[in-house]
Amino acid sequence: MPHEPPGTALLRGAIDCHVHCAPHLSGRSVNVFDAVRQAAAAGMRGIGIMCNFQNTSGFAALANEELGNLGCEAFGGVIMQPTAGGVTLEVAKAAIGYGYGPGTGAKFVSLPTHHTKFIAEREGRSPAFIETTFAVPHNGLVPDPVPAIMDLCAQKDVVFDCGHVSAPEAVALAEEAKKRGVTRIRTHGSRYPLDAIGAITALGGYVELSFFILTHATQVGLTHVDEEKHKINGSSTIQDFAPRMRAAGDRCILSSDSGVYLLPPPVEALRQYIMLTQSEGFSDADIRRMTRDNPAALFGIAL
């Protein structure tokens, strides 16, 4: 038997729901086909293709047509950034329908990642820019057309992803989504306080913690369409993550959030993340829950 790096066995059956391998404005470590081939070679069950600029459901559908026989399911969705058409019902509808037949389109519809007030402020954007971004007001009332987009997600049984908003905004969005019958709610809680994580999971929402935030890639500004490079100050450590993983419990998801050329290719990034998580005392069963069972449940992928 050739030597396997530690953690390799835990990749079998895993689903990395956050891979930035789509064509991009800057360098990627793998393309979509390679990402699927490499994940399949590691025995992984699925990868979620994410892009901050365009809907990825078409790439996923294409990858499944070509490589579906390998046993690793690709899935995509839309992050409703301005470049992908913005926060509109039409953008969500198009993404959900964009595939090779019913059920092959978007598995998630996400509020913006960088084009939110929360991130724009942390990136030091101008007041004029911040004015144009997505936010939930302090009264917690979810602005139009988001309720209609939630209704669509409930009807089509796809994930509503709260995007990169603040913790109180994520709780308000999860409450509204649940009220509207959305059963698949995703939040990005790498920096959320534990009480917000508890509130989200109590509503049935999932809390994702991404490896990217723990890495040296955070030292480099992310590429944006305006060619400004913005980074968010303050990286996190696995010691910051561990209590959040425990607080999210049965609703915690670990993802690589990799694909950028600065990080190892996604499969290796996920292996490193698994090893890092193990170092905080998480068991193999915990890791399988966070990297396989929970993403499978959220995205409706058969194991």
Its sign, for the CA torsion 125, 130, 134, 135, is positive
Please state the closest distance from residue 141 (CB atom) to Zn ion, in A. Answer: 28
Of the two residues 24 and 93, which places its CB atom closer to Zn ion in the complex? 24
Size of site (CB under 5 A) for Zn ion:
1
Of the two residues 176 and 257, which places its CB atom closer to Zn ion in the complex? 257
Question: Between 266-278 and 238-248, two packed helices, what is the crossing angle to 10 degrees?
Answer: 80
Footprint of Zn ion on 1-20 (CB under 5 A): none
Q: Applying CB under 5 A, which part among 133-141, 169-177, 190-198, 253-261 lies near Zn ion?
A: 253-261
Residue owning tokens 């915990």: 286
Of the two residues 260 and 274, which places its CB atom closer to Zn ion in the complex? 260
- Can you state the percent helix, strand and coil of the chain, rounding each to 5? 45, 15, 40
208 binds Zn ion (CB under 5 A): no
CB atoms within 10 A of CB 246: 15
Query: Which of 79, 80, 4, 14 has the alpha carbon at shortest distance from 47?
Result: 14
257 binds Zn ion (CB under 5 A): yes
Of the two residues 95 and 154, which places its CB atom closer to Zn ion in the complex? 95
Query: Which of 46, 19, 42, 45 has the alpha carbon at shortest distance from 32?
Result: 19
Q: Applying CB under 5 A, which part among 3-11, 88-96, 120-128, 251-259 lies near Zn ion?
A: 251-259
Q: Applying CB under 5 A, which part among 53-61, 72-80, 257-265, 276-284 lies near Zn ion?
A: 257-265
Binding residues (CB under 5 A) for Zn ion: these are 257
